[in-house]
Amino acid sequence: MQRHSPARTLARLGATVSSLAITLFGLVLVTFFIGRVIPIDPVLTILGDHARPELVERMRIELGLDKPLPVQFWIYLTHLFRGDLGRSVMTSNLVVDDIKLYFPATVELGTTAMIFATLIGIPLGVLSAVRRNSRLDQFVRVFSIVGHSIPIPVLGLISLLVFYAWLGWAPGTGRVGVAYVGMTPTVTGFLTVDALIAGDADVFWDALSHLMLPAAVLAYFSMAYISRMTRAFMIDALAGEYVITARAKGLSPARVIWRHAFGNIAVRLATVLALTYAGLLEGAVVTEMIFSWPGIGQYLTVSLLNADMNAVIGATLLVGFVYMVLNLLADVAYRVLDPRV
Amino acid sequence: MLVEISGLNISFPTPHGMHAAVRDVSMTLGTEKLGIVGESGSGKSLTARALLRLLPPAAVTRADTLRFDGIDVLSASEKQMGMIRGRRAGLILQDPKYSLNPIMTAGDQIAEAWRNRRKGSRRQAKEAAIDLLAQVQIRDPRRVADSYPHELSGGMGQRVMIAMMLAPDPELLIADEPTSALDASVQAEILKLMEDLVSRRNMGLMLISHDLPLVGHFCDRVAVMYAGRVVEELAAGELGQARHPYTRALLDCMPSLTHPRPRLPVMARDPAWLT
């Protein structure tokens, strides 16, 4: 049965892309104007409070701040289209280059955390739902409530205390030991991957061991959420009549659970996973701070505290863009997995 | 005997102690059509599901005898149950909108049932599914096989359900209100279809319904259930001579074309029926 004609698919794609563009434009607009109306003078942040007036005036013209706001916005937009997000005052690099430096660190951390969270969270949630009210279920529920209730700073600091200070199993903070900094050429920006490409086992193991603790902290938090949602969805699905049908057909329990019940929740779960992953890629600010992880969350926070508006707007746009793309992917997954849509 | 049930009790824990939903039910079924009638909550569905051990986990089942073709269902291993369910006994539920898996095509669901019993390639299973769809008198079986349940009407969905349960050539078909969710005209077609298939394949049929005249027409024997008990069991042709006051009251509540009455009576329930 023909469910999607090519014309309809194309129209849908067009609608999605244009809504994406409009949202992104709104994001630029809001961030830009908030950046301009805050009572911090970017010129004075650069030059200091006691700069000479003519110097201040020259800087103001150089930064384009003498022009009316709409004109400034237009200039910003045209630059944006060329892929130019301006220069960061704080790092004096192009914001684009900064992002290329910081964002891969966040992606590396977030993706590792997400893989752990998914691989542990989903089976735990399914098992918990299948053996509802069993001891295992009670344990999983408590385990995930704890994971979702402990504030990340507490969890992060405790984990550092236990695994770094007491047990000495984990290395300290940062992405890699001081001795290995800058040892491998940057290809992907993911230190573990770059080390593998360079064939440098020492750097790889060191980077991996630095990655594990912050990833575990983030994974615990996300896993708690994923397993709770999986459990709730599965309990709902297992009560479905089609599950009785599947059992009456004489299918094995594994097939009933995974093919029939889980197959029906996969759609909803995809949305949960996409949003969780988006949350991780926004830059887990607190985790990055605690573990001195040079990611986008840390970059954004430090820029914000220094009123480095080009950096703030650039990083915000990136985060917003990532969020939208993941939402879009969840939407696509919905269409692929659910024949009713 | 295909089915032997005696002294079947099913109860559920509630905050006020155990609630007995099925009490001391006994019945037998061979290669015949047995109708079970009763109102909602009378225990007819539970009785049928207990036979396939498909009750909710909270249910507590006790029975003197609960056998399918000599196999003790209560003590059977999960593996033995797997040999009964879907191979020797099929179950058709009320509303295909809910009882078919919404994310699998009709053909895949039938093929899955077929492959569970017979070993064969994916393609063979698909062809078998299309063949089964033709057997339940679907005019365009190839198109229906590729359709998802939401693309099918209720009558079509129920035909798919029947095809799926007939795929492994079972000896017993349990149909739990198979036509209650369908239009009256489609109901007749589906019943006719089930009747044909059951008699041609020489199967036993357990038809659960709340529709007394329908069951009377369609079945060989009728068991009337009320509040978890079988209150009366009789040959379908003898429904007119039913003795239990509940059955009599049910029959009395039916409107008649030949002897219309200005007002239908409302059943007066006697608490004595409960004991």
pLDDT in tens, B38-86: 888 889 999 999 999 999 888 999 999 999 999 999 999 988 898 899 8
Give B100→chain A minimum CA distance, Å.
5
d(CA A102, CA A114): 18
Most distant pair of Cα atoms in chain A: their distance: 86
Whether A43 and A154 map to the same domain: the answer is: no
Sequence-ordered list of residues with C-beta below 8 angstroms from that of B144, at least 6 positions apart, any chain: B106, B107, B133, B138, B152, B156, B160
Res B144 pLDDT > 90 = yes
B148 to A245: CB separation less than 8 angstroms, yes or no: no
B86 to A251: CB separation less than 8 angstroms, yes or no: yes
Whether A109 and A140 map to the same domain: the answer is: yes
Nearest CB to B54 within list A242, A244, A340 = A244
Q: What SS3 class is residue A105?
A: helix
* pLDDT on residue A2: 46
Whether A171 and A65 map to the same domain: the answer is: no
Output the DSSP codes for A218-233: HHHHHHHHHHHHHHHH
Report how far apart the first and last C-alpha atoms of chain B are (Å, whole number). Answer: 29
Please tell me the least confidently modeled range out of A169-183, A296-310, B79-93: A169-183
A252 to B82: CB separation less than 8 angstroms, yes or no: yes
The percent of residues in chain A predicted with pLDDT above 70, rounded, is 98
- Residue B229 phi, psi dihedral angles, 5° rounding: -125, 155
- Residue A69 phi, psi dihedral angles, 5° rounding: -55, -50
Nearest CB to B103 within list A252, A253, A339 = A339
Whether A200 and A62 map to the same domain: the answer is: no
Q: Is B63 left (phi over 0), alpha (psi -120 to 50) or beta?
A: beta
Scan residues 193-252 of A and list those with Cβ closer than 8 Å to B: 240-242, 244-252
Q: How many CB atoms neighbour CB A333 within 10 A?
A: 17
Q: Is B101 left (phi over 0), alpha (psi -120 to 50) or beta?
A: beta
Res B222 pLDDT > 50 = yes
The percent of residues in chain B predicted with pLDDT above 90, rounded, is 55
Are residues B98 and A242 in contact, defined by beta-carbon separation less than 8 angstroms?
Answer: yes
In chain B, the residue whose alpha carbon lies closest to the alpha carbon of A262 is: B103
* pLDDT on residue A5: 65
A241 to B95: CB separation less than 8 angstroms, yes or no: yes
Question: Is B4 inside a domain boundary?
Answer: no
Question: Is A201 inside a domain boundary?
Answer: yes
Res A236 pLDDT > 80 = yes
Are residues B241 and B235 in contact, defined by beta-carbon separation less than 8 angstroms?
Answer: no
- CB burial string A228-263: b at 16+ within 10 A, e below: bbbbebbbebbebbbbbbbbbbbbeeebbbebbbbb
B268: exposed, middle or buried (C-beta count within 10 Å: 0-12, 13-18, 19+)?
exposed
Are residues A137 and A128 in contact, defined by beta-carbon separation less than 8 angstroms?
Answer: yes
Scan residues 127-146 of A and list those with Cβ closer than 8 Å to B: 132
The mean pLDDT value of chain B amounts to 89
Q: Is A117 left (phi over 0), alpha (psi -120 to 50) or beta?
A: alpha
B103 to A244: CB separation less than 8 angstroms, yes or no: no
Structure tokens at A272: 């949960």
Q: What's the mean pLDDT in A166-193?
A: 81
Residue B134 lies in domain: 32-43+76-274
Question: Is A155 inside a domain boundary?
Answer: yes
Interface test with B, best of A245, A255, A340 (most B CBs within 10 A): A245
Residue B20, beta-bridge partner list? B11
B99 to A245: CB separation less than 8 angstroms, yes or no: yes
By DSSP bridging, strand B65-68 and strand B71-72 are: antiparallel
- Chain B contact set for A339 (CB, 8 A): 102-103, 105, 148, 150
Whether A161 and A197 map to the same domain: the answer is: yes
Whether A158 and A283 map to the same domain: the answer is: yes
B112 to A251: CB separation less than 8 angstroms, yes or no: yes
pLDDT level of residue B246 (50, 70, 90 thresholds): confident
Res A208 pLDDT > 50 = yes
- Chain B contact set for A241 (CB, 8 A): 93, 95, 98-99
The answer to whether A261 faces chain B, any CB pair under 8 Å, is no
Whether A45 and A125 map to the same domain: the answer is: no
pLDDT level of residue B131 (50, 70, 90 thresholds): very high
- Residue B202 phi, psi dihedral angles, 5° rounding: 60, 50
d(CA B166, CA B160): 10
A240 to B103: CB separation less than 8 angstroms, yes or no: no
Whether A103 and A170 map to the same domain: the answer is: yes
The mean pLDDT value of chain A amounts to 87
User: Of A160, A164, A212, A167, nearest to A191 (Cα)?
Assistant: A212
Question: Is B102 inside a domain boundary?
Answer: yes
Res A1 pLDDT > 50 = no
Question: Is B147 inside a domain boundary?
Answer: yes
Structure tokens at B119: 């070993």
Last residue of a domain, one of A52, A81, A110: A81
| DSSP 8-class letter at A94 | B
Question: Is B175 inside a domain boundary?
Answer: yes
Structure tokens at B233: 């069991």
How far CA A287 is from CA of A112, A118, A279, A280, B134, in Å, comes to 14, 19, 13, 10, 61
Whether A103 and A221 map to the same domain: the answer is: yes
The percent of residues in chain A predicted with pLDDT above 90, rounded, is 30
Res B255 pLDDT > 90 = no
Q: What's the mean pLDDT in B162-172?
A: 91
Res B164 pLDDT > 80 = yes
Question: Is B27 inside a domain boundary?
Answer: no
Count of structural domains within chain B: 1
Res A63 pLDDT > 90 = no
Question: Is A228 inside a domain boundary?
Answer: yes
Whether A158 and A247 map to the same domain: the answer is: yes
Give B109→chain A minimum CA distance, Å.
9
User: Of A258, A270, A246, nearest to A337 (Cα)?
Assistant: A270
* pLDDT on residue B112: 93
The answer to whether A54 faces chain B, any CB pair under 8 Å, is no
Q: What's the mean pLDDT in A91-96?
A: 88
Q: What SS3 class is residue A336?
A: helix
Last residue of a domain, one of A55, A81, A107: A81
Whether A205 and A295 map to the same domain: the answer is: yes
Whether A200 and A310 map to the same domain: the answer is: yes
- Chain A contact set for B161 (CB, 8 A): 245
Question: Is A86 inside a domain boundary?
Answer: no
Question: Is B24 inside a domain boundary?
Answer: no
CATH number, domain of B212, equals 3.40.50.300
The answer to whether B113 faces chain A, any CB pair under 8 Å, is yes
Question: Is A90 inside a domain boundary?
Answer: no
| DSSP 8-class letter at B85 | B
Question: Is B39 inside a domain boundary?
Answer: yes
Question: Is A322 inside a domain boundary?
Answer: yes
Last residue of a domain, one of A32, A56, A81: A81
Question: Is A1 inside a domain boundary?
Answer: no
User: How many Cα atoms within 13 Å fall on the side-chain side of residue A243?
Assistant: 21
Question: Is B55 inside a domain boundary?
Answer: no
User: How many Cα atoms within 13 Å fall on the side-chain side of residue A59?
Assistant: 15
Nearest CB to B116 within list A132, A241, A250 = A250
CATH number, domain of A268, equals 1.10.3720.10
Count of structural domains within chain A: 2
Q: What's the mean pLDDT in A30-40?
A: 81
Residue A72 lies in domain: 6-81
Give A137→chain B minimum CA distance, Å.
15
Question: Is A170 inside a domain boundary?
Answer: yes
By DSSP bridging, strand B229-235 and strand B60-62 are: unpaired
